[in-house]
A and B are shown apart, each in its own frame.
Chain A
Amino acid sequence: LALALVCAALAAVIPGDAEGAVGQPLRVVLLGDSYSAGNGADNYWGPEGCYRSTENWAEQYLDTIRPSRPVTFVNRACSGGVLDDFTQPNEMGDDLHSLLMPADVTSTSDPRIMPAIESAGACDTSYPGDEAYDIDVIAATPNTFGGTTVTYSCTRYLEPQWDAVGEDTDLVMFSIGGNDVEFSSIIENCFAVVLRDVGTCREKIESAQEEIVEVGTRTESFLRALKLRMRPDAKIVLKSYPYLEKNPDYTLSNLLPWPFDDSYAVGSEIRQLGDLGDQAQQAAVDAVNAEGGAQAIFVDEIKPHFAGHEPDGRVCCENEDRWINEFDGFTRMEWYHYNGTGHTEVARVLAGYGDFGTSSSPTSNAGVDIAFVIDTTGSMGSAINSVKAAATQLVNTVTAQTSAARFALVDYRDFPVRTGTPTDYPAKLDQDFTSDAATINGAIQSLVLGNGGDLPETMYSGLATAFDLTWRPGVKKMAIVLADAPPLSPEPFTGLTGLDIVLRSLAIDPVEVHVVDVRSAMTSELTEVVERTNGGVYRTTPSQAATQIAAAIDVSLQRPYAWAGGPYVGAVGKTHTLDGRGSYGIAGEIVSYEWDVDSDGIYDYSGASPTATHTYTAPFDGLVTLRVTDSTGRVGLSTTVGHASVDGDEIPAAEDNCPAATNPGQEDWDGDGVGDVCDETHGLPHVGEGKPGVVDNGDVRDPDGDSTPGSVTTFREPHFNVASTIESAEDRADYLGVQHPGGRLQVQLVGLHADYDLALTDLAGNVLERSAEDGKRSEKVRATLAAGRYLIAVLPKEGEFDAKHEYHVNANVLG
C-alpha cells in the first residue's frame, strides 16, 4: 500500500493556489560567467567573488514569467567562470588559520582537531552544496602557552555549476566563453589606458581569435553532455555577448615616435572577435540540436539590440547612452559589464521568447534527493534484512516514476574507542547520490553489521555525513534514518547535538529528517529535530522497516512544494520583498505563507499572499524560512540565506577591508589593506571624472624635462651608473646622453619595477640598438660605435611607470 502511495504522490500535479501562480512549475538554473551572474547589477549575494545579483537579467526575465508560473530559480553562475567550471570544482583560493588546542594534541590526525576546526567556523559557508572548503591540517606544534597550536588551511571552492542541473530542470540559461578567451586581458590591454598597449592588445585579440576555435568545440562538447543530464523536452539557452566597443573605426595608437609608433584597429577587430564567437557558438548549438534531445537555443539578438549602447573606448569620450559600464566606479569586476539598464535590456530580449516553449517536469515532485542513514550496529539485523529484501522494489518504484530521483546511503555505528571494535566507525558514506537504481540497490545489499556497543549510537554523525553530500537545490530533500537506538548527544569527539543537526538541515533548504524507529530510537531531542526539519516519525517492527520507509517518502512527496526565493542580502534598512511565488501545492492548494526572517523559530509574517516585505533594522546573518500550508493541512518548508549588515555585503566586518561600504569583491588596487571604495589614496590612476583607470594618452607631457632627444644637455663618459624614475604614465621616455670614446658600448637597464625597454639612439632619436625584454626583466644593448655623442632611451611601455622606485642605467665600453 505504501509503495502504491508513493506512485500516487509522484503522479499528482495540482500546481497553483488561491493567490500564487497557476501554471505549470518552471525550474530554471543559471550557469555561466560574469555576464550571467550579475556583475554590474548591484544587489550582490553569494560566494565571495561571484557577483550574483537579485537584479540580473535572468531574474528580470523570470519576473515576466512568475505571474503565470511558479518559478524555482537557481543561480550558479560566477564571475570569472569558464567552461571547465561547469563540470569541475572551481578553486577560489585558500587561507591559513590556527587554533589553540590542549598540549596532548600532538598529531595532525588527532580526532579532536577537525571538530575544533568546525567549531571555529573559519571554513564555514552560508551556501552549502554550492560553496565548500577543503580543510588541510598542516601542523600541530607546541606553543609558548603550554598548549598546541594547530595550523590549518581552508581551500575554498565552488561545486561544479552543473550539479544544480538534473532531470527536473526545465530551462538552463548561460553565457560562457569570454573568460576562456581572456576577455579581461583584452579589456585591460586594449581599453584601460593606463594599462593598454598596442602590441599586447593586438596579441590578445589575435590569440582570442585563434582560441575561439577550440572554445567553440568545447562548448559543443559541454552542450552535448548537458543534454544528457536533462529531459528531452527541456530547453537550453545560450546567450551571446554584446560588442564591447561602439566605434568600429576606433584605432588604438601609442603615439610614440618612429620606429616605436604603432596602431591597431581595435574597434573593428574586437567586434569581429565578437562575431567569430557568435559563429562558433551558433555552430555548437546547431551541431547538438541535430542530434536530438533537449533543444538548445542561441540568443544572438544581443549585439543588434545593444547597437549604439556599447562602451566608447576612446579616451576623449564616454558613451552617455551606454548599457555596458565603461570604467565606471571602483568595482573593477563591473567594468565592461552590463550596467543596470543593460541587464534590463537583456531581459527584454529574452522576454521576446516567452518561456522558450518550456514544458514542466512531468511530475510536480519529479526532483527528490533521498539519503538513507542506517544504523548498522549488531541489533539491527532483522530491520536491515527487511530493507535489503525490499530495496529493489522501493527504489525501482520511485525511479520508475521519475529518473530525477537520487539516492545516497550512509551507515553509522559508534566510535571504535567506545565499542572496542576496531572495525566500527561513527559514520561511513557507502554510496554518494546516484540516480542509478542498480547502484543504490547494490550499496544497500552490501551493508554489513558491526558491533556498536551500548545503546546510544552516532546517529548525528550519520546525518552530518549525509548533509555533507551535494544536495540539489530546488528539489525535495529527505534523510531517512533507520534506527533502533537513540543518538548520542552531545556526541563525543564531534560535539554534535540535535540543534546542530537542525541548523545544518535548514541550511540545505531543508533536508527533512524522517526516522523509522524499529525499537526505541526516539528521544525528546530527536523528536524536535524531526519537527523542526518538517520530517516524520514512523514506529514499526524491524520486519516492516521497508514499508515504513516507503510511507515516509509518501508523506514527504504529498507535501506542498515551498520555495523561499532570495537570498535576502543587503544593508540594514533595506526593504526586501520576500517572494514565495515559486511554491505550489501537491495534494491541495496553498492557503497560507508564513515567514520566519530571523531564524528564531517564530513566524514573523503570515497570510494568503505569496509575498511579503521585510526590513532588517539590525545586523542579521542566518536563514529565512518559508512555511507553506495547503488546504489539506500539509506543510512544506523552504529556507534561504538572510543577511543584513552595515555595508550590505556578506564579508564579515572583522575581515572586511571596507566595513562601511559595500564592496563584495574587496577590491584593493594599491594593496594597502583598505578597499578602494573607502580608500582616499586608492591608487587607481585616473584623469577627469567618470573614467578611473584611464589616462589621456594624447596628453603626452614632459614632466621631468628629459623626455625628448632634444632636451638632453648632459653627456657622460662611460663608465657611469645613474638612477632616475619614470614619473607618471604620461612620461613616455627618459633620455640620457653618453659621450662615447669609440668601440663596443654596452648599456644596461636594471632594477626595474615596471616594464621598461631600452634603446641606444642617435641624437635625433633614431634607434641604433634596442632591447625589449618582457616585464621587469633587465635590458641590455651592445653596439660598436664610432666616437661621438649618443642617447640612451628608457622607454616605459604604455601606461607603465613606478615613481617610487628608481631604475639604474650603466654604460661601459667593453674590451
Chain B
Amino acid sequence: MPRTTIAVAVAAVAVAAAAAGCLHDGDEPSAKLQALEADPMATYEPPDAELVDTESQSEGETTLGKPQGARYTRLFALQGDGEQAFDDAVAAARSAGWTFEEEPSTDAFGGTVGLATRTLSTGTARLSISLLVDEQVVREGVDPPALRISLEHV
C-alpha cells in the first residue's frame, strides 16, 4: 500500500531549528509555506491518481546549518496515461496563472518536466511538474508512472 506522510519535513525542520538554537517555530507553517499551500496547484488532483506522499517545509536552516526554502510537494501514483496526466496538470497550472518560460521537456530519465513561475504575495514561486517514468527515480513501493507536483519559493 502506498503510504501517506504529511508535513514530515516541517517537523524535521522544527526539531533541527530548535536543536540549532534558532527561534523558528516549525510547527506553524511560515507565511511563504502558507502562500504555497494556498495556490490552486497545491490542491490540484490528477484524475485516476492516488496521493502517495505530501511533504511541506517552511523555510529555515537544517541542523547542519544549510538554508532550506519553503516547499510543498506531492507525489501521485498514476493509474492511467501518464502523459495525459502531465498535460492536464500543465494546463491546470497555466489556468491558475503559472507561466512556463520554456516548453516542458524530456528529462534524463525519459520522463517530462515542466517548470513555471508565478508571483505570490510572498514573492516569486516556482512550480515543477515531473512525470516520472523510470523506477530508479520513483520511491520503492510506487510503480511508475508517477506525477510529482512541487511548489517552492525561489
Contact = CB atoms under 8 A, between A and B. Distances in A.
A550 B107 CA distance: 50
B64 A187 contact: yes
Interface in A165-188: 179, 182-185, 187-188
A588 B43 CA distance: 67
Given A200-B8, A775-B10, A84 B154 contact: yes
A332 B19 CA distance: 13
A569 to B, nearest CB: 21
A84 B126 CA distance: 10
Interface stretch (B33-41, B82-90, B109-117): B109-117
B109 A210 contact: no
Contacts of A722: none
Interface residues of B, number: 50
B51 interface: no
B137 A213 contact: yes
Nearest to A91: B67
B99 interface: no
A603 B65 CA distance: 42
B14 interface: yes
Given A335-B64, A754-B15, A775-B14, A213 B107 contact: yes
A276 B16 CA distance: 27
Nearest to A217: B113
A214 interface: yes
Among B5, B64, B75, B137, max chain A CB count under 10 A is at B64
Contacts of B18: 753
A29 interface: no
A292 B46 CA distance: 38
A333 interface: yes
B46 to A, nearest CB: 16
A284 B108 CA distance: 8
Interface string A646-658: 0000000000000
Contacts of B150: 211, 214
A207 B132 CA distance: 12
Given A80-B66, A84-B154, A670-B21, A774 B108 contact: no
A668 interface: yes
Given A221-B115, A775-B10, A669 B19 contact: yes
A214 B128 contact: yes
Among A82, A184, A221, A754, max chain B CB count under 10 A is at A184
A212 B131 CA distance: 12
A791 to B, nearest CB: 25
Interface in B1-30: 5-12, 14-16, 18-22, 26-27
Contacts of B94: none
Interface in A541-571: none
A671 B22 contact: yes
A259 to B, nearest CB: 15
Contacts of B45: none
Interface in B28-79: 53, 55, 62-69, 73, 75
A535 interface: no
B92 interface: no
A206 interface: yes
A678 interface: no
Interface in A489-546: none
Contact of B62 (A185, A276, A774): A185
B64 A332 contact: yes
Nearest to A200: B12
B136 interface: yes
Contacts of A88: 154
A453 interface: no
B81 interface: no
Interface in B93-132: 102, 105, 107-109, 111, 113, 115, 128, 130, 132
Contacts of B20: 669, 671
Contacts of A754: 15
A777 interface: yes
B8 A203 contact: yes
B15 A776 contact: yes
B28 to A, nearest CB: 11
A212 B8 CA distance: 20
A411 interface: no
A724 interface: no
Contacts of A282: 108
Contact of A213 (B21, B62, B64, B132): B132
Given A217-B105, A221-B115, A210 B140 contact: no
Nearest to A195: B63
Contacts of A771: none
A755 B63 CA distance: 15
Contacts of B19: 195, 669
A268 to B, nearest CB: 12
Contacts of B139: 206-207, 209-210
Interface in B128-154: 128, 130, 132, 136-140, 146, 148, 150, 154
Contact of A214 (B9, B115, B140): B115
A623 interface: no
A279 B110 CA distance: 12
Contacts of B66: 34, 79-80, 179, 183-184, 333
A188 B8 contact: no
A214 B15 contact: no
B7 A774 contact: yes
B22 A283 contact: no
A800 interface: yes
Contacts of A404: none
Interface string A748-791: 00000111000000000000000000111100000000000000
A173 B20 CA distance: 32
Contacts of B102: 221
A216 interface: yes
Interface string A457-470: 00000000000000
Contacts of A671: 20-22
Contacts of A213: 107-109, 111, 113, 130, 132, 137, 148
Contact of B109 (A279, A335, A775): A279
Contact of A276 (B9, B22, B137): B137
A280 B137 CA distance: 11
Contact of A333 (B53, B64, B68): B64
Contact of B108 (A207, A221, A283): A283
Given A203-B5, A210-B139, A774-B8, A188 B64 contact: yes
Contacts of B12: 185, 189, 200, 775
Contacts of A147: none
Given A195-B16, A279-B108, A775-B12, 14 more contacts: A200-B8, A200-B12, A209-B136, A209-B138, A211-B148, A213-B137, A214-B148, A276-B109, A280-B107, A335-B64, A667-B65, A669-B19, A671-B21, A775-B15
16 contacts: A34-B66, A184-B68, A188-B62, A192-B64, A203-B55, A210-B137, A213-B130, A214-B148, A216-B107, A216-B108, A276-B109, A335-B64, A665-B65, A671-B22, A774-B8, A776-B11
Task: Report the 9 A-B pairs with minimum CB-CB distance, sorted nearest first.
Answer: A671-B21, A775-B11, A283-B108, A774-B11, A184-B66, A206-B139, A217-B113, A184-B62, A214-B128
Interface of B: 5-12, 14-16, 18-22, 26-27, 53, 55, 62-69, 73, 75, 102, 105, 107-109, 111, 113, 115, 128, 130, 132, 136-140, 146, 148, 150, 154
